[in-house]
Chains A and B, each alone.
Chain A
Amino acid sequence: MRPSIYHKSIIALAMAVLSYMSYAQEAAPAAAAPTAAAPAAGQSYFAYVLIIFATLLLFAVAALGQMLIRLTEYAYRNKGAIAKSIVLIMMMAATAHTAIAQEAAPAAAGAAAPATTVAAPSIFGMDVTAAIAIILLEALVIGVLLIRIWALLNTINPATESSSKHFELPKFLDNFNASVAVEREQDIMLDHDYDGIKELDNSLPPWWKYGFLASIVWAFFYIGYYHVAEAAPLSAGEYANEMETAKKAKDEYMRTAKNNVDENTIKYDQAYIADGAKIFAENCKACHGEKGEGGVGPNLTDEYWLHGGKINDVFKTVKYGWPANGMKSWQTDLSSMQIAQVVCYVKSIKGTNPPNPKAPQGTIYSEGDSTQTAAAPAAPVDSTTKSN
Chain B
Amino acid sequence: MTVETFKYDNRWVRNFAFASFLWGFVGMLVGLIIALQLVFPQLNFVEWTTFGRLRPLHTNAVIFAFVGNGIFMGVYYSLQRLLKARMWSDALSAIHFWGWQLIIVAAAITLPLGLSAGKEYAELEWPIDIAITLIWVVFGINMFATILTRRERHLYVAIWFYIATWITVAMLHIVNSMELPISAFKSYSLYAGVQDALVQWWYGHNAVAFFLTTPYLGLMYYFLPKAANRPVYSYRLSIIHFWALIFLYIWAGPHHLLYTALPDWAQSLGTVFSVMLIAPSWGGMINGLLTLRGAWDKVREDPVLKFMVVAVTAYGMATFEGPLLSIKSVNAISHYTDWTIAHVHVGALGWNGFLTFGILYWLLPRLYNTKLFSVRLANAHFWLGTLGILFYAIPMYWGGIYQSLMWKQFTAEGILKYPNFLETVSYLRPFYIARALGGLLYLTGTTVGIYNLIKTAAQGKFVAEEEASAPALEKNYTPHGTEGWHRVIERRPVQMLIFSFIMVAIGGIIEFVPTFLIESNVPSIASVKPYTPLELHGRDIYIREGCYNCHSQMIRPFRSETERYGEYSKAGEFVYDHPFQFGSKRTGPDLQREGAKYPDSWHYNHMMDPTIMSPGSIMPAYPHIIDHDLDTNTTAAKIKAMQMLGVPYPKGYEAIAGTDLVKQETVIQASLAKDGIKVSKNKEIIAVIAYLQRLGRDIKTNPQTAAAQN
**Chain A residues proximal to chain B, CB less than 8 Å:** 28-30, 33, 36-43, 45-46, 48-49, 128, 159, 163, 165-169, 177, 179, 182, 185, 189-190, 192, 194-205, 208, 211-212, 215-216, 218-219, 222-223, 226-227, 234-236, 238-240, 242-243, 246-247, 249-250, 253-254, 257, 282-283, 286-287, 295-297, 323-326, 328, 331-337, 358, 382-385, 387-388
Please provide the chain B residues from 655 to 710 with a CB less than 8 Å away from any CB of chain A in the complex. Answer: 675-676, 699-700, 703, 706-707, 710
The answer to whether the Cβ of B402 comes within 8 Å of any Cβ in the partner chain is yes
Considering the complex of A and B, which 8 residue pairs feature the smallest CB-CB distances, nearest first? A326-B599, A42-B408, A212-B279, A333-B419, A40-B408, A250-B414, A239-B557, A219-B272
Contacts of A33 in B (CB 8 A): 417
**Which chain A residue has the least Cβ–Cβ distance from B605?**
A296
**Interface pair A286/B82, CB less than 8 Å apart:** no
Whether A189 touches B231, Cβ cut-off 8 Å, given contacts A36-B412, A36-B417, A332-B563, is: yes
In this complex, the member of A190, A202, A211, A282 whose beta carbon has the largest number of chain B beta carbons within 10 angstroms is A202
The answer to whether the Cβ of B95 comes within 8 Å of any Cβ in the partner chain is no
Whether A192 touches B154, Cβ cut-off 8 Å, given contacts A219-B272, A384-B703, is: yes
The answer to whether the Cβ of B276 comes within 8 Å of any Cβ in the partner chain is yes
Q: Mark B586-600, 1 if CB is under 8 A from A, else 0.
A: 000000010011111
Whether A246 touches B557, Cβ cut-off 8 Å, given contacts A283-B420, A332-B416, A388-B593, is: no
**Interface pair B296/A168, CB less than 8 Å apart:** yes
Q: 13 A–B contact pairs at CB < 8 A? A: A30-B405, A42-B404, A197-B156, A199-B235, A202-B236, A208-B282, A234-B264, A235-B264, A247-B414, A295-B675, A296-B675, A326-B599, A388-B700
Q: Which of B31-39, B362-370, B564-572 contacts A (4 or more CB under 8 A)?
A: B564-572
Whether A41 touches B558, Cβ cut-off 8 Å, given contacts A218-B272, A388-B700, is: yes
Q: Which of A128, A197, A203, A296 contacts B232 (CB 8 A)?
A: A197
A29 to B409, CA, bound (A): 9
The answer to whether the Cβ of B18 comes within 8 Å of any Cβ in the partner chain is no
The answer to whether the Cβ of B254 comes within 8 Å of any Cβ in the partner chain is no
B399 → chain A, closest Cβ, in Å? 12
**Interface pair A45/B329, CB less than 8 Å apart:** yes
A69 to B682, CA, bound (A): 78
**Interface pair B419/A332, CB less than 8 Å apart:** yes
A192 to B153, CA, bound (A): 10
**Interface pair A201/B296, CB less than 8 Å apart:** no
Contacts of A282 in B (CB 8 A): 420
**Which chain A residue has the least Cβ–Cβ distance from B330?**
A49
Contacts of B562 in A (CB 8 A): 239, 243, 383, 387
**Interface pair B615/A286, CB less than 8 Å apart:** yes
Whether A211 touches B415, Cβ cut-off 8 Å, given contacts A205-B286, A286-B612, is: no
B255 → chain A, closest Cβ, in Å? 13
**Which chain A residue has the least Cβ–Cβ distance from B275?**
A215
The answer to whether the Cβ of B273 comes within 8 Å of any Cβ in the partner chain is yes
**Interface pair A335/B415, CB less than 8 Å apart:** yes
Please provide the chain B residues from 185 to 236 with a CB less than 8 Å away from any CB of chain A in the complex. Answer: 222, 225-226, 231-236
Please provide the chain B residues from 235 to 283 with a CB less than 8 Å away from any CB of chain A in the complex. Answer: 235-238, 240, 244, 259, 264-265, 267-269, 271-273, 275-276, 278-280, 282-283
**Interface pair B297/A166, CB less than 8 Å apart:** yes
Contacts of A189 in B (CB 8 A): 231
A96 to B271, CA, bound (A): 43
**Which chain B residue has the least Cβ–Cβ distance from A382?**
B703
A334 to B84, CA, bound (A): 73
**Interface pair A199/B232, CB less than 8 Å apart:** yes
**Which chain B residue has the least Cβ–Cβ distance from A37?**
B412
The answer to whether the Cβ of B48 comes within 8 Å of any Cβ in the partner chain is no
**Interface pair B233/A200, CB less than 8 Å apart:** yes
Contacts of B152 in A (CB 8 A): 194
**Interface pair A194/B82, CB less than 8 Å apart:** yes
**Interface pair B234/A197, CB less than 8 Å apart:** no
A165 to B296, CA, bound (A): 10
The answer to whether the Cβ of B133 comes within 8 Å of any Cβ in the partner chain is no
Contacts of A199 in B (CB 8 A): 157, 231-232, 234-235, 238
A332 to B597, CA, bound (A): 13
Contacts of B419 in A (CB 8 A): 332-334
Please provide the chain B residues from 579 to 614 with a CB less than 8 Å away from any CB of chain A in the complex. Answer: 593, 596-602, 605, 612-614
**Interface pair A333/B613, CB less than 8 Å apart:** no
Please give 5 more A-B residue pairs, beta carbons under 8 A apart, in addition to A167-B296, A179-B233, A326-B602: A29-B405, A46-B405, A239-B557, A257-B412, A388-B566
**Interface pair B294/A212, CB less than 8 Å apart:** no
Main secondary structure of the interface of B (DSSP, over half): helix
The answer to whether the Cβ of B559 comes within 8 Å of any Cβ in the partner chain is yes
Residues of B in contact, count (CB < 8 Å): 104
Please provide the chain B residues from 105 to 161 with a CB less than 8 Å away from any CB of chain A in the complex. Answer: 152, 154, 156-157
The answer to whether the Cβ of B560 comes within 8 Å of any Cβ in the partner chain is yes
The answer to whether the Cβ of B628 comes within 8 Å of any Cβ in the partner chain is no
A200 → chain B, closest Cβ, in Å? 5
The answer to whether the Cβ of B380 comes within 8 Å of any Cβ in the partner chain is no
A185 to B233, CA, bound (A): 10
Whether A200 touches B231, Cβ cut-off 8 Å, given contacts A223-B272, A235-B264, is: yes
Q: Which of A49, A324, A387 contacts B566 (CB 8 A)?
A: A387
**Interface pair B233/A202, CB less than 8 Å apart:** yes
The answer to whether the Cβ of B411 comes within 8 Å of any Cβ in the partner chain is yes
A163 to B84, CA, bound (A): 39
B273 → chain A, closest Cβ, in Å? 7
Q: Which of B234, B408, B414, B558 contacts A43 (CB 8 A)?
A: B408
A203 to B78, CA, bound (A): 26
A336 → chain B, closest Cβ, in Å? 7
Q: Which of B237, B297, B601 contacts A204 (CB 8 A)?
A: B237
**Which chain A residue has the least Cβ–Cβ distance from B299?**
A167
The answer to whether the Cβ of B461 comes within 8 Å of any Cβ in the partner chain is no
Contacts of B598 in A (CB 8 A): 287, 296, 326, 328
Contacts of B568 in A (CB 8 A): 239
A235 to B268, CA, bound (A): 11
**Interface pair B567/A384, CB less than 8 Å apart:** yes
**Interface pair A43/B405, CB less than 8 Å apart:** yes
The answer to whether the Cβ of B7 comes within 8 Å of any Cβ in the partner chain is no
Q: Which of A29, A39, A166, A246 contacts B414 (CB 8 A)?
A: A246
A227 to B272, CA, bound (A): 13
The answer to whether the Cβ of B455 comes within 8 Å of any Cβ in the partner chain is no
A285 to B40, CA, bound (A): 24
Contacts of B407 in A (CB 8 A): 42
**Interface pair A208/B330, CB less than 8 Å apart:** no
**Which chain A residue has the least Cβ–Cβ distance from B157?**
A199
**Which chain B residue has the least Cβ–Cβ distance from A49?**
B330
**Interface pair A182/B293, CB less than 8 Å apart:** yes
**Interface pair B566/A38, CB less than 8 Å apart:** no
The answer to whether the Cβ of B371 comes within 8 Å of any Cβ in the partner chain is no
A224 to B41, CA, bound (A): 49
**Which chain B residue has the least Cβ–Cβ distance from A358?**
B676
**Interface pair B226/A196, CB less than 8 Å apart:** yes
A196 to B224, CA, bound (A): 12
Q: Which of B301, B402, B427, B613 contacts A296 (CB 8 A)?
A: B613
A295 to B234, CA, bound (A): 72
Whether A190 touches B279, Cβ cut-off 8 Å, given contacts A29-B417, A29-B418, is: no
